[in-house]
């Protein structure tokens, strides 16, 4: 709602000075920064929940999940192949460790072998997607001991996850 107010203020400010415009720009900048932080928090939370659900499905089988939930956690094997970004997400999320672009390519190859054949340079495509996931707040870049670049799925820490689960249980 604040952004709507900022937009209205920007349109109604007379063009006789820049002080008011600068104030509106500062407010919009602060709001944008806050929203981007919130988005990163939400993406981390989504990652944690997806990892938890995937872990439970690995332990007890996919049959414990509804069709809708299978689709939400990218595990539903429908007639069509998942998108390339979805495949990269799935490999990274299920790894529980940092992966190189080569590791992600290998993971995609194991799951959907035909997907990589559609890319002229699969390593470059995977690297691009991994860097986008970093920009979305879903992954974080790391440097491995051997100096190679890798990416790790961003998830809440175990204590944050426990706290969120406890508060969800208490609310119900």
Number of domains composing the chain:
2
pLDDT digits (tens, 9 = 90+) for 47-68: 788 878 877 887 888 888 888 8
Residues 71 and 143 in one domain: yes
Asked if 123 and 171 touch (Cβ cutoff 8 Å), the reply is no
156 Cβ contact partners less than 8 Å away, ≥ 6 residues apart: 44, 45, 47, 48, 164
Residues 60 and 22 in one domain: no
pLDDT digits (tens, 9 = 90+) for 63-84: 888 888 887 776 665 544 458 8
pLDDT digits (tens, 9 = 90+) for 110-133: 988 788 888 889 999 999 999 988
Residues 61 and 145 in one domain: yes
Residues 16 and 101 in one domain: no
Domain assignment present for residue 171? The answer is no
Residues 19 and 84 in one domain: no
């Amino acid at each position: 709602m604040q952004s709507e107010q900022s937009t209205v203020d920007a349109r109604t400010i007379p063009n006789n000075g820049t002080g008011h415009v600068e104030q509106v720009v500062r407010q919009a900048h602060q709001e944008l920064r806050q929203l981007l932080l919130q988005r990163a928090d939400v993406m981390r939370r989504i990652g944690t929940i997806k990892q938890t659900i995937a872990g439970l499905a690995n332990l007890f089988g996919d049959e414990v999940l509804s069709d809708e939930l299978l689709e939400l956690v990218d595990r539903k094997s429908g007639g069509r192949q998942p998108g390339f970004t979805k495949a990269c997400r799935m490999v990274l999320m299920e790894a529980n460790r940092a992966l190189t672009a080569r590791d992600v390519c290998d993971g995609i190859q194991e799951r959907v072998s035909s997907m990589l054949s559609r890319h002229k340079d699969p390593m470059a495509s995977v690297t691009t997607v991994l860097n986008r996931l970093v920009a979305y707040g879903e992954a974080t870049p790391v440097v491995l001991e051997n100096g190679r670049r890798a990416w790790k799925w961003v998830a809440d820490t175990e204590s944050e996850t426990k706290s969120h689960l406890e508060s969800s249980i208490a609310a119900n």
